[in-house]
Structures are given as structure tokens and as C-alpha cells.
Amino acid sequence: MKLSKIAGETSQPPILRVAAQINEKIARGETFHNFTIGDFDGRIFPIPALLTDYVVDSYRDHQTNYPGPVGLPGLRDGVRQLVRRYAGVDYDVSQIQISSGSRPLIYGMYRAVVDPGDKVVFPVPSWMNDAYCHLCAAQPVPVPTRPQNHFMPTAAELEPYLADAAMLALCSPQNPTGTVFAADQLREICELVVAENRRRGPDEKPLYVLFDQVYWLLTFDGIEYPHPAALCPEIQDYLFCADGLSKSFAGTGVRVGWGYGPAHLVRSVSDTVAYIGAWAPKPEQIATGRFLEDLDAVDAFLVPFRVALHDRLRAIYDGFQAMKARGLDVDAIAPQAGIYLTVRINLVGKRTASGQVLQSNEDALAYLLDEARVGILPFSFFGAADESQWYRISVGTCRLETVPALLQSLEKALSALQ
């Protein structure tokens, strides 16, 4: 039975294929270290206790009708306060849109500015931009990044592709890398966008920037998160930021997201959110608005949350550096933010104990799954080249005491190779 052209050309993401293989191993009772999931285990990382109480209160108060298409005023005001305090920029509540997580906002932004055939520029590795381009019949323009820059794009790398693009999609802190734009690096990109829009005629569509900042409150070791509008106020006319509870507050399943930008752009994104019914549930909106009113409570949650995430990421990073010092062909980038660690594992060309030569990264991934009993995701799943040796490790479901077993299992498998 035939379906639409887009449906017929949509394939299952490789992450789901790996997840199915891992689930089969776990179902068979195998000991397995699964660090693939970009999510939180709520028993390890619960959402703020106050937020839980406020959600329950709202349901008990029977606040279960439609919340309206743009979001409740109390929540939008709370978002305004959050952004003003932590990012140093101020947006009017009329410039803030609420949705069921940040994904509908990202999709709404694509729909607002991208016509079929338009070019969308984005760095790789990055999360899901190729899929959104596919859904909107846009032309993806992936721009490879380098480990020397922590896989964050530079203005020089992006500039050749912006002259005829409709949108530039950026993310910081980045998924899958867990790295953050340096202030000068981001300022140069913003200034590049402003200059490009000055060059365009009054009848031309501007170059817009979609900025995914959903991990922005989770930076470590004194690393500061630079906000594009604070670095370059002129970018605000073209900038839409997507954010929410999912990562900074461990609320992936709570489904409260928010975005903000110029009023005309927010109105268009709001239309998409309304048409697909992607508003956040009213009880959760009320609860989140109450929680964000108390920025001291926000701080009280974020400070230990950051420490707990950093402890896990740093322990794995230190383990990789120790393996490297012992002569194994691995490396890692020190954690900067979020729940991800970037690591390099070079397996291609090596011979297993059974005599098999690992001839491709597909073979390498299978070896990690079957012999190391470790689940991590290659950067090729995020748009990087198939031959990339870099991987994402996620700690959102990790207990700190399990890290030594992960490292031991991985080192044993790597040491068995010739």
C-alpha cells in the first residue's frame, strides 16, 4: 500500500536499531553497560521535588482543560525571568512560546522559515537536522567540524555556505559532543549572520538562526554559556531559541518546552504548535511557572545536579585518559556541559582474538556491543563521516558506582585486539 513520498523515503534512525540490539541482550540476561540513551532515569535523576509537588497540586485542582495555543502567562513570565537572570537578555512575554517539549518548536521554526528546496546549514555531528530537512523537503547542508575545536563550528567553516541559505541551525551545548561555543567563536558567527542579512535586499528572505540551547544551564568547571543575543544584540531580529525542562531539569517526560525570538517569528511558530496540538499539558505548565518564579529554588536544584553529572562524565574521561596512557588507541575531550562525553576509539584494522579483522566502523560498533558489552553511539549516527572514530557516551541513566565496571569491560575488550 503506497504512502506519501516523504513517508516512503523515511528510514528508521540507526539509533533505534542499536537500541533494539541492546534490548535483546538485556532481555537474554546479559550483563551490559548501556550508555546510548539521551535521557534520564528518574530514579537516579528526579525532577525538582518542588516541581513534582506543584504538578500534583495542579492535577488535584483539576486544571486539565486546554491551556491555549501560546502558553500560560505565568509560565511565560517565569521563562522570561529565567533567561534574564542566567543569560542576561530580556524578552517580552509576547515573544515567548510554550510547547510540549522543544521538538515542536524546532519543527515549527523549520516550517516558519524553510520552503521546499531551501538550504539549511548545520554543523555535523549534530542532532536530527537532517531529519527535519527531510520532513520539510529542504536541502541539507552539513558542515563537518573538527576535534581541535571540540566539534563546534567556526565562522570560517560556515561562511562559504550562508549566501543562499534560509536557516542556520546551531546547538550549544551540543548534542552529541557535550561541548560549548566559546564566546568569541559564537560572536563571530552571529556577526557573520548579521552581515549576510545586511547584504540581502529588502525583498529577500533573511537568514534565520535556530539555536537549540536545551542543555545551557548544565555547564561545568567554570565554563560559561554565552548567549548569542548577549554577544551580538543585532542577531535578535533573526534568532529563535529553543529550550525547555527536558535536560536542564531532567524533565524529558514532563513535556514542557519554550522558545523565544522576534514577535513575527514566534507568531508563525505558534501557528504550527497550535495546528498540531503540541501544547504542553496545563497542569505541567502551571507547575513549571510556579517553580520558575523561585529562582533560588532553581539554583538549589541546578548546583548539585551539575555536580552529579560532572562526577560521572569526569570519571569516564579520567578512565579514558588512563587507558590512553597505557597505550590503548583511545582519547576523550574533557566534559564541558550536559550529559554527554566525546570519546575516540580506534578499532578499524585491528584483529580480534578469533582472527577477525575489524574492517569498518560497523564492525567496530558490533565488537563494542558483542565483546565489550558496551553501548555507545558513533558520531556517524549524527551526520559525521562513516569513518569517524568518535563516539558519544551518555550518563543520564548512569549510577556513579557503575563507571569502573564500564571502563574495565571496555579496556578488557580493547586489550584483546591485535
Do 61 and 100 lie in one domain? The reply is yes
Do 390 and 410 lie in one domain? The reply is yes
Domain finish residue from 255, 275, 294: 294
Domain finish residue from 294, 318, 339: 294
pTM score, two decimals?
0.96
Task: Please state the domain count of the chain.
Answer: 2
CATH number at residue 357: 3.90.1150.10
242: left (phi over 0), alpha (psi -120 to 50) or beta: beta
Do 17 and 68 lie in one domain? The reply is no
- The DSSP bridge pattern shows strands 33-34 and 374-375 to be parallel
pLDDT value, residue 15: 83
CATH number at residue 156: 3.40.640.10
Do 227 and 311 lie in one domain? The reply is no
Which range marks the domain in which residue 306 is found? 5-45+300-415
Do 260 and 369 lie in one domain? The reply is no
What is the C-alpha R_g of the chain? 22
pLDDT value, residue 14: 84
Do 370 and 251 lie in one domain? The reply is no
Do 332 and 213 lie in one domain? The reply is no
Do 41 and 55 lie in one domain? The reply is no
Interhelix angle 282-293/73-87, nearest 10 degrees: 40
Per-residue pLDDT 10s for the chain (418 aa) are: 788 888 877 777 788 888 888 889 888 998 899 999 999 999 999 999 999 999 999 999 999 999 999 999 999 999 999 999 999 999 999 999 999 999 999 999 999 999 999 999 999 999 999 999 999 999 999 999 999 999 999 999 999 999 999 999 999 999 999 999 999 999 999 999 999 999 998 899 999 999 999 999 999 989 999 999 999 999 999 999 999 999 999 999 999 999 999 999 999 999 999 999 999 999 999 999 999 999 999 999 999 999 999 999 999 999 999 999 999 999 999 999 999 999 999 999 999 999 999 999 999 999 999 999 999 999 999 999 999 999 999 999 999 999 999 999 999 999 999 8
Do 27 and 54 lie in one domain? The reply is no
Do 263 and 406 lie in one domain? The reply is no
Domain finish residue from 254, 276, 294: 294
Do 407 and 308 lie in one domain? The reply is yes
pLDDT value, residue 13: 79
Do 56 and 155 lie in one domain? The reply is yes
